[in-house]
Structure 1
């Protein structure tokens, strides 16, 4: 095992960090602007949390955190909303989040890590900022690999495709190949959790709590079939908006998950029955906050709020839905370790000196 130290930018609740640490990568710190992420990040991971706007973080500060020696990895998973298909309907170019990849690029130039990794929605590749980021890495001598990963193939029990970028100063780098024979299902992930009703929490785990349904939505979920939609309902239960031509194009809302298939892609509002196909397969409720976290690859014991603190669906739904799945963090960590194991310590030190000392370009 090489001595590898990582800093996780835009770390959120720690999904990427948790996956990297499971693969043996030392994550020294995570940086995020949301104070609410401090508890889950630090409580569940052996790393410190730094609340800071990424535009105000200096390379010198990150170098202090990296320390001396070893392989340096800089990871950054900027918020995906500006690059999502849904956001393209709106004026996202005016959002300050659009330029976060340029801030990431600045920190790469200031810290000169050995390996860089980022993940985002696949549609990030359609935007100039992503091409600029990749080109900047190549101009600095990195071998750059970009690939859309189907997380189902790596064991995540959820339909989730993500663009993963890996860049190394040492040589060509690739994502680890999947080794699963069968996809994990909703049943595999949450089938053993205790049953609860809508509006109820499980006493032993406050995060296993389901949002309350209105009497009308109780009728609707009871009329819903796993894998189906509101089109299966009796006429009197169908919402007026879905009877319009514009509403008929949204069959995926008000649906139940299927036990023996992976879950649909979780959003930040997965706790709401009407926000997608987020109904429990057979209990008359939406999936709980804990069930969503498990479908994101988090362990069943992962703590998101301090003991005794109130559970807020909106803030926790956003935190969990926006998280890098732990499973994807493991894939990235496994890919980095497999890449480094191709080189001896002498090779790594020699290549690093040739690049950092003489600015020698690497040609793939």
Structure 2
């Protein structure tokens, strides 16, 4: 097989801060543009990826606007993660601007595929999407494509985080090699492996050399709760005077995974838009008395340690950056998808006609 990577030109719809794009670029795919309506995504997307950011609502895009980007390579790829607020446990925050029901964006994505007929398509989304009619409607736009999709446990591909996502790959070239199985890793990556080398900071402190390595301050009560928390434990481990009134109620007893610490030698919980808050999940640092920093959250999303999220001198706003980081596609997942697609194209080019089932794994 030819070792040279195929020339694939891609556009990343709903690109956010560039998690999927950065992963695709790492795999050797030439991302020509990213599209998102959130202006706060422009700096991180362009500062870390050699591609322009197009600030647009995808609902307003036309296929003719995207054609020049997709036609710049031998093969074309339309990629994206359409926000699906109705199906997700967590809010998509500011992305609801100017939109009705978010599932319409999935259908818009499908309509662009129908119009543009790219060689390759990939969609990453919440796992719950698979059980809704809109997913079946999206698949109708892929007539003529070989399709593989599954709900992916991201720990299997090297993401140090318990995160399950629907991943779809489709190709007009055939089905040879169209699978993520080659991206499985023999061992699970842990919190310790990802963030333990960062310098220690205290609650409310910002590291002088990395503005993103910052953790919010804690109230006196929450500091007491933090010190009483065990890695992997719950608030049920606390003495009674520390337990919040809402958790003493019958309805609150079913939420044990808040006010908890991560474990060093296990993956983190799902990084959400509120991952910087000790009370929002098991987001306490394993050993330091604070919630994880924004930099640690980004690294658990497999962004490189030096990934730039803010222009120099800009103020760090936890809610904004937490939303951008929590909504991102993990970079490693993007890289796994991109590598699978490049291997697929190379299989096709080499004449491998092996057929695969319609489910990844």
Q: Does the TM-score normalized on the shorter chain lie above 0.5?
A: yes
- Structure 1, residues 256-301: CA drift from partner, whole Å, max 9, x if none? 0001111011110000000000000010100000000000000000
Q: Distance in 2 between matches of 1:99 and 1:337?
A: 30
- In structure 1, the partner of 2:12 is 8
Contact 2:155 2:267 in 1 (8 A): yes
Q: 1:325 to 1:86 in 2, by over 3 A?
A: closer
Task: Give the corresponding residue for 1:27.
Answer: 31
1:153 and 2:156 correspond: yes
SS of 1:192's partner is coil
1:214 to 205, 219, 222: 219
Aligned to 1:239: 244
Equivalence for 2:299: 294
Return the match for 1:56 from 35, 54, 60. 60
The residue number in structure 2 matching 1:163 is 166
Kindly state the Cα deviation for residue 340 of structure 1 after the two structures are TM-superposed: 0.2
Question: C-alpha displacement at 1:149, in angstroms?
Answer: 1.1
Rounded to whole Å, the distance in 2 between the matches of 1:86 and 1:293 is: 17
Relative to structure 1, the CA distance from residue 286 to residue 85 in structure 2 (aligned partners, 3 Å threshold; closer, same or farther) is closer
Higher share in helix: 1
Rounded Cα–Cα distance in structure 2 between residues aligned with 1:176 and 1:335:
8
Q: Is the 8 A contact 2:183 2:340 kept in 1?
A: no
TM-score computed with the length of structure 2 as normaliser: 0.92
Matched, 1:74 2:78: yes
Q: How far apart, in 1, do the equivalents of 2:112 and 2:289 lie? A: 48
Number of residue pairs aligned between Structure 1 and Structure 2: 342
Matches within 5 A, 1:176-187: 176-187=181-192
* Residue 232 of structure 2: aligned partner: 227
2: distance between equivalents of 1:287 and 1:219?
17
- Report matched runs for 1:1-364 at 5 Å: 1-85=5-89, 95-137=100-142, 139=143, 141-172=144-175, 173-344=178-349
Q: State TM-score, norm by structure 1.
A: 0.91
Change in Cα spacing, 1:86 to 1:4, as seen in structure 2 (3 Å) is: closer
Mapped partners of 1:16, 1:310: distance in 2: 25
Measure the CA separation in 2 of the matches of 1:160 and 1:179.
15
**After the TM superposition, which of the residue ranges 59-68 and 232-241 deviates more from structure 2?**
59-68
Cα offset, 1:69, TM superposition: 4.5
C-alpha deviations, 1:200-253, integer Å up to 9, x for none?
000000000001111110000000000001101110010001000000000000
Q: CA deviation at 1:179?
A: 3.8
Deviations along 1:39-76, one digit per CA (max 9) or x if unpaired, are 00000001110000111111001002223451000001
Question: 1:8 Cα shift?
Answer: 0.1
Instruction: Quote the Cα distance in structure 2 between the aligned partners of 1:45 and 1:254.
Output: 36
The C-alpha deviation readout for 1:134-178, integer Å capped at 9, x for no partner, is: 1221x2x01111111111111111111111000000111222434
Q: Secondary structure at the match of 1:343?
A: helix
Q: Secondary structure at the match of 2:311?
A: coil
Contact 2:9–2:72 (CA under 8 A) maintained in structure 1: no
SS in 2 for 1:96: coil
Cα distance in structure 2, aligned partners of 1:342 and 1:306: 42
For 1:197 and 1:158, the matched residues in 2 are separated by: 23
* Divergent runs of 4+, >4 A: none
C-alpha distance in 1 between matches for 2:227 and 2:257 = 16
CA RMSD of superposed structures (Å): 1.8
Compute the displacement of 1:103 (Å). 0.7
Whether the 8 Å contact between 1:83 and 1:121 is mirrored in structure 2 is yes
Q: 3-state SS of the aligned residue for 1:46?
A: coil
Cα distance in 2 between the residues matched to 1:177 and 1:65: 29
